[in-house]
Chain A
Amino acid sequence: MTVTPEPVGRPGPTRRRALTGALAAGAAVLGAGALSGCGSALAADDRTVRLWDLFSGADGGLLNDMVRRAGPDMPGTRIERTVLEWGTPYYTKLAMASAGGRGPDVAVSHMSRLAGYAPTGLLDPWDLDLLAEYGVRPGDFADAVWSRTRFEGATYAVPLDTHPFIVFYHPEPAARAGLLTGDGVLDTEAFGSPDSFLAAGRELAKASGRQGIAFGYVTDTAQCWRLFYGLYRQTGGTFRLPEGGPAEVDADRMTEVIAFMTKLVDGRVNPRRLDYAAAIAAFANRQTAMILSGEWELGTFRAADPKVGAAPFPTVFGTPAVYADSHAFVLPRRPHPDAGHRRRTHRAVAALLKAGQIWATAGHIPAYRPVTATAAYAKLRPQADYARAQSSVVLDPAVWFAGAGSDFQNAMCQVLQQALLGDLAPDRAARAMVRRLDTFLSKPSPA
């Protein structure tokens, strides 16, 4: 074909031509949009390790500091954070991205969600040899946490921290109530049985002049479960959830724990119907001398009382057990992972773990023990006072439907809340929980 010059008498624009043009342009826009939508998620230069996490606010700032501190440890590698809002949708996004093989290079997940992720093929296992090369070995983590990272002989998570459910207290009223030991830390022995726990609450109420122990749970989707499950595991009762059901649990011990929780929020010695925010306010304003809370609220409490004390959750029912969860690094599935990039990812995670001292300032217990063994960590108060909680942590049962932000925790909390508000007797609440457990177990696992 020869190239002909533009005809002189070029026909003017007709309606048909205009429409065709518009259609073609529209199709081009649609097509281009669809294509670039697929491409952009993967487009990243080779030296960038993309990380999805759920840390906003103060935690987010600390992670930025850690990334900076880790920089010299991983030359030639850059960590690019994408912060997503914490909550149930976080796991939806992570699952969808992983199912399509278009997830980030590495993501932060709660360890309690691993049972719903690893068996479904949404995660790739970590290469332990590679991690060891960068100075991270299984022996560097507490057994209670590390044992949860394994599935079918492979390691699917590298723990960043443990965040237990503990007690915070104001030192002055606690001292007046005679509940501090000689070194000024909480005498957890004084809380060693249901009766002495309640008696200690009365002493604290007397010493504070107002009320004793705050616990915020109304309309919360996790708090009741955190307290219940930690206490239940202290009783030594079984909690086995075989696939298909029925649940093998000890309803009598569940009743005992629920009855204790109900007595705790009696409305006289301790406040009765607090929601999460109200409980924090009650403790921060010194309406109560103590609060049952996750350690992640340390920053808030320290702003209100620089001398605020903390201790592992006391052993009320005999066997030491502290409810906790753990933030861990996971590798979202890639159908064809690039070996060099995977190595870079392992190296970046190892570097982040070693910068864990920064993470500890937020209150989380760094999972990488070389950090908690340092003198610098021992000086962190009150963090060092509850670090020993790490050896007796219990995480959610390892079933696909449980874990942080799950419908399961919410369902359990709904029953427990009714019992704590006095609308349901403890034994009936225990039976209702067992029924709900059986319903969850009867559903087919997505794996």
Chain B
Amino acid sequence: MSSPLAPATPGSRSVRRLLSPGLLFALPFLVLFAVFMLWPLGQGLWMSLTDTSLSAHTPDFIGLDNFSEAVRDAEMWRALGHTVWFTALSTVPLVAVALGMALLVHTGLPGQWVWRLAFFAPYLLPVGVVGLLWIWLYQPDLGLYNHLLDGVGLGRVAWLSDPSVAMSAIVLTTLWWTVGFNFLLYLAALQSVPDHLYEAAAIDGAGAWRRLWSITLPQLGRITTVVTVLQILASLKVFDQVYLLTKGGPDNSTRPVVEYVYDVGFTGYRLGYASAISYVFFALVVLASAAQYAALRRREK
């Protein structure tokens, strides 16, 4: 056994150079990242080129057949359309309402902590709880919303079973559930707007609205970009609340592409084809992100 104080040999020094402290610190993460991200990514890509199914047979390599089937699969495009539609419907209110709530709290409503807690608390709930809660709220006969609508004489709404309403109902649930996170980001950004800007504006005689339009909102431009990008990515991933509330129904009118992948792979047993669809989706998300990035770059210049 060598004492820890013994002079390092040249060999161990080169090892140490290779394993720089930074790398060592990152190592636990890198190992997990490789095992749980990179390896499944590669495995999935391989599977998408085979006819792997949930069976006891060994899969065959079938080249790009799965991909050519996918681009001709009307149901996949429909599911992709639902995902995009959900993203469009949900991103705008999730950013706008978060901003509105943050401004309200920041301008000094009495009892600030109550508001902060109330706005952020739903975000802490697991999706299972959110799903159960809202299924009851949306119940056609016993639910709170139809009870209220009945009370004011507006008639009942088939929240989750009417194809033209179901997606909006899911967006509403998502808004309530996740707006707290964006709200928090906005609140933090609001608190870092320098006070001297407001002081200078006040000296120049700017009113509250003027200060909001000319100082607060421009100062929030950067965080708005961040919030929007994060929100779009989060909305594109939509699956859990849809699965819990409608299982993609009625008539698959709310089924997002991620659920389609699940249905094809785990209830249709076609894992290879499901992988191919998920890579088609992946490619589209990468394209969208690249476009977003390019647009931002141009604007910053």
Asked if B44 is an interface residue, CB under 8 A from chain A, the answer is: no
Chain B positions within 8 Å of A88 at CB level? 267
* Chain A residues numbered 251-299 whose CB sits less than 8 Å from any CB in chain B: 275
Stretch at the interface among A95-103, A228-236, A363-371: A95-103
Stretch at the interface among A320-328, A380-388, A439-447: A439-447
Partner of A23, one of B28, B53, B54, B161: B28
Q: Name the distance in Å between B172's Cβ and chain A's nearest Cβ.
A: 20
Contact A219 B250 (CB under 8 A): yes
Chain B positions within 8 Å of A444 at CB level? 51, 270
Bound Cα distance from A275 to B139, whole angstroms: 13
Contact A92 B249 (CB under 8 A): no
Interface string of A126-147 (1 = CB under 8 A from B): 0000000000000000000000
Contact A120 B250 (CB under 8 A): no
Range class of the B interface residue count: 10 to 19
The tally of CB-CB contacts under 8 A between chains A and B is 59
* Chain A residues numbered 18-35 whose CB sits less than 8 Å from any CB in chain B: 23, 26
Asked if A110 is an interface residue, CB under 8 A from chain B, the answer is: no
* Chain A residues numbered 80-109 whose CB sits less than 8 Å from any CB in chain B: 88-89, 91-92, 95-96, 98-99, 101
Chain B positions within 8 Å of A98 at CB level? 56
Q: What's the dominant secondary structure at chain B's contact region?
A: loop
* Chain B residues numbered 226-272 whose CB sits less than 8 Å from any CB in chain A: 249-252, 263, 266-270
Asked if B13 is an interface residue, CB under 8 A from chain A, the answer is: no
Contact B268 A407 (CB under 8 A): yes
Contact A218 B161 (CB under 8 A): yes
Chain B positions within 8 Å of A401 at CB level? 268
Asked if B9 is an interface residue, CB under 8 A from chain A, the answer is: no
Contact A116 B56 (CB under 8 A): no
Contact A219 B249 (CB under 8 A): yes
* Chain A residues numbered 397-447 whose CB sits less than 8 Å from any CB in chain B: 401, 406-407, 414, 443-444, 446-447
Bound Cα distance from A23 to B31, whole angstroms: 12
Contact A96 B55 (CB under 8 A): no
In the complex, besides A23-B28, A120-B54, A120-B56, 13 extra interface pairs with C-beta distance below 8 angstroms are A11-B4, A92-B266, A92-B267, A95-B54, A121-B56, A407-B267, A414-B251, A443-B268, A443-B270, A446-B55, A446-B268, A446-B269, A446-B270
Closest 10 CB pairs of A and B: A121-B56, A120-B55, A446-B53, A446-B269, A92-B266, A95-B54, A88-B267, A219-B161, A414-B251, A446-B55
Interface residues of chain B, those whose CB is within 8 Å of chain A, are 4, 28, 51, 53-57, 161, 249-252, 263, 266-270
Name 21 interchain pairs, CB-CB below 8 A, sorted by A. A23-B28, A92-B54, A92-B267, A96-B54, A101-B56, A116-B269, A120-B53, A120-B55, A120-B57, A120-B269, A121-B55, A122-B56, A218-B161, A219-B161, A333-B56, A414-B251, A414-B252, A446-B54, A446-B268, A447-B55, A447-B57
Interface residues of chain A, those whose CB is within 8 Å of chain B, are 11, 23, 26, 88-89, 91-92, 95-96, 98-99, 101, 116, 120-122, 218-219, 275, 333, 401, 406-407, 414, 443-444, 446-447
